[in-house]
Each structure stands twice: as C-alpha cells, then as structure tokens.
Amino acid sequence: MRGIEGALHVLARVREGRFASEVLRDSGSAMTPGDLSLAASLVYIVLRREEMWRHIVGGFLRSGDARSRREGGRSPGRPAAGGRLPPQVADCLLVGTAGLLELRHFAGGVLVNGLLEHLKNEGQGKFVSLVNAVLRAVGERGSERVEALRRSASLEDRALWAGVPVWSLPAWTKSWKRSELNELFDLMRIPPASSLRVSPGRADVLNGLLREGGLEPESSDLSGALRLQSTVLPTSLPGYERGWCTVQTEGSLLVASLVERFWRAGVILDMCSGRGVKAGQILQSLPKARVECWELSRGRHLSAVREMRRLGVEARAELRCGNALELEPREAPTLVLLDAPCSGSGTWSRKPESKWQLSWSRFDRLVAVQKDLLARALDLCAPNGIIIYVTCSLLRQENENVVAEVLAGRANGVEVPSPWGTSGPFHRGRPWGAYIWPASPWLDGFYCSIIMKRAEV
C-alpha cells in the first residue's frame, strides 16, 4: 500500500469511528516506513483542520468552471443540485487540498497524480476531471484563502483556521475572553510532539538507545521526562516493551504528579483509568501505594492490564472493568483520581478525529456524566480524603460549572488551592480549579480541581 492510498484507507476507517493512530498502527506492515510516514502526515493534516479544508474546497466547487457545475459539485460530502459526491471523491479532495497547502517536502504534482490514479482504480473515473480542476485551483489560490481566514476579525473564520469546530464556539466564548481565545486558537496550531516518561533508573541507558536510533531526546522541564521532536508510535521506541519508557504528554504527567503530592496513605482509586497510563506513573513514583482502577471500556481495560505487566507493577494494581457509577471499592479510598470523560478540547491537536464526532447533544450528555461521577467520587472517598477532578477540556461547562454545581449541595466538600500557580501555561479557573494551556508541542490542555472531603461534623 502506498502512502496516498494508505491515507485514504485510514480516513475511511476514521469515518467508521476508528482512531487514526490505531488504524495506522494496524496498517504499518502493509507500507514501507516512508509510505507510512506520508500516510500519517496526510491523515493528520486533514483531520486537524478538516472543517477548513471542506470550506475551501466547497468555495472552489461553488465558484468553479462549467465542468464542475455539470458534475454537481459543492462542498465534498454535502448535498448538491446534482447529488452527493461519493465519500472516496470527497476524501481525495480533502487529502489533496490539505497536502498541497501544508506538506512542505512532497511534490504537489505527485500527490495530485496519485489521487487521480486512485480514483481511476476505484471506478470513480468520471470525477477525475472535477478533482483535477479543483486541486489546480487550490494550488493557485488556496494559500490566499487560508491566510484570509487567519487574518480575519471573524471568530468563526479564526476557528476554521485553528481547527476548532464552529458549532462549539458558544462554549468557547462562555469560557474565555476574546483575547484569550485568540491566544488559545494560536496555540492549537502548534504541531504536537511526543514526550516520554522514563521509568526509574533507566534514564541513562534510554537516552543512549534513543540517540542511537536517531531520535535525539531533549531534557524536559519535568523530572523523569524526555522530549522528542516528533510524534512516535510507542511500540517503535527502544526499551518500550521492557517497560523503560512510556509515551505520555507533559500535561498528563503534571496531573498524575498531583496524586504523588497529596497522597499520604491508604488506597488510591482511579475511577476512569483508561489504558492505565496515569496509574502506571503513580505506581512507579509511589512504591508503597496500591491503586484500584475502574474502566468501563473492555478494550481499554485490557490495555491497562497489559500496561501494568509491561511496567512490572501489576502486584499493586487491582483492575476492574465496569461502570464507575455502579462499582464498589474494596475499601474506602483516601484519594480518588477522577479523569472524567469529556470533549477532549485540550487534546484536539493531538487527537483531532474526536472533535468531528462531537455535537451539542453529546456534549450535554458528557457534562451530565461528569456531574454524576464527581458526586459519586465524593460519596466514595474516605473522610478527610482528596478528590482530584480532571478533564482534558478547556471549556468551562465541563470544568468550573461541574465543580460548582456538585459542591453547591455538599457542605463536606472544600476546594484545595492548586499548587501550579498562574505563570507560564498555568491559568486559574473562574473561580474553581486551574488550567494547563497547550503552550508547547508536549503539552495538552487540562483542567484540574482538588477537593478535600471534610469529616462529617
């Protein structure tokens, strides 16, 4: 499978609900390293600003020549007078547009020819002239349209440029001032890179192995972490299978380090543990701690089981698959980490497919679940214990509003000041909690509120 075909294959699977990273990992054996790199580049530049690419392509289709009008062209995948463009054709237009306007080290002509050849091979030859005409116009005038969106005073245009779904703008405007939004939207354009959590005692040998592999790690601002200059598949890293390193963003590292700061004794409950990355960090950094992990998804639960074994900490971890609103802990936890399911708006640059699967109805359901989970965490936590409420969202509705509503009806919950301060990437919530902004390639956006459950009077 060539890189262009691989990108189209991955996008088709993403439309079915798969994560791009998983499909790329599964497809790796069918491509050379160079083709896999090209496929990944094309997929992510499409997904990070898909709405903008659709906007640009739609503009050229609507104002196109007689040929494009005869073939019923409009925005790819949208209704038009002559019907809908087939998904394969729409994706070819998106890949071609994004590639022509963002790829710096790949010949545009080769990309267009590869897409046209793919359409012919897939029995879509009647659309070849349309795609060729649109991509020729994109190559000539597309950069001007991108720059116009970047410079626009319209918040909607700025959202398109930044890759922020336009439907979500009301939530953003309720969360941040206009000047803050402009800064956040700029930060969301920073290409992500991988950071590594290094297992205790492995820093020197891992540094050497990474340099031998040409990865050139850099020191992080965080103890026990390294920075790479690009994103990597975890399984490709030297020492990964032996548990020497873990791919983890610096925002995630900071969140889990709060557990290290506030834990004193007793069982830690990780209510929504996912694939166990934060639990692994906690168990490695706190050699006397025991962690009970709950995860609703069977697939993520099994991944967490494998993660604990890879790190060699499974003896102190109890992993249970089930609903956090229904499970009962073996004993009352003295600290509860609740990394609640959310919109993921702070990670949209790193996991771009998730934002295009959201809607207002799903957003509202997530907020309702967050409130239920935080209330349950307060019920389960032992008196004088700590609840750390976390989302990877930058939207107030999922953060301060959730904390405020839950604590309003509970006299035994009191917020503890954040140790992060307000400089650099850290911002104070209004008034609850604290934010990490995605201010570097290694930082995702997070929100955190630390709550102490006071003993009943």
What is the widest separation between alpha-carbon atoms in the chain?
78
Task: State pTM to two decimals.
Answer: 0.91
pLDDT at 77: 44
Q: What is the DSSP string of 86-120?
A: PHHHHHHHHHHHHHHHH-SSS-HHHHHHHHHHHHH
Quick check: helix, strand or coil at residue 148? helix
CB 155 within 8 A of CB 169: yes
How far apart CA 37 and CA 96 sit, in angstroms, is 16
pLDDT at 69: 37
Tokens of 373: 């989970």
User: Was domain 251-453 assigned CATH 3.40.50.150?
Assistant: yes
pLDDT at 79: 36
Q: What is the DSSP string of 268-316?
A: EEETT-TTSHHHHHHHHH-TT-EEEEEES-HHHHHHHHHHHHHHT-GGG
> pLDDT truncated to tens, each residue of the chain (457 aa)?
689 999 999 999 999 988 898 898 888 778 888 889 899 999 999 999 999 999 999 999 986 543 433 343 334 444 333 348 999 999 999 999 999 999 988 888 999 999 999 999 999 999 999 999 999 999 999 999 999 999 999 999 999 999 999 999 999 999 999 999 999 999 999 999 999 999 999 999 999 999 998 999 999 989 999 999 998 888 889 999 999 999 999 999 999 999 999 999 999 999 999 999 999 999 999 999 999 999 999 999 999 999 999 999 999 999 999 999 999 999 999 999 999 999 999 999 999 999 998 999 999 999 999 999 999 999 999 999 999 999 999 999 999 999 999 999 888 899 999 999 889 999 999 888 999 999 999 999 999 999 999 987 5
CB 272 within 8 A of CB 388: no
CATH superfamily of 195-247: Sun protein; domain 3 (3.30.70.1170)
pLDDT at 28: 75
Nearest to 21 by CA among 46, 43, 53, 54: 43
Say if residue 157 is exposed, middle or buried (CB neighbours under 10 Å; 0-12, 13-18, 19+): middle
How far apart CA 243 and CA 310 sit, in angstroms, is 5
Q: Tell me which of 1.10.940.10, 3.90.1150.10, 2.130.10.10, 3.90.950.20 is the CATH number of domain 3-154.
A: 1.10.940.10
How far apart CA 125 and CA 117 sit, in angstroms, is 9
pLDDT at 64: 57
How far apart CA 47 and CA 94 sit, in angstroms, is 9
Domain boundaries, the chain: 3-154, 155-189, 195-247, 251-453
Q: How many CB atoms lie within 10 A of CB 198?
A: 23
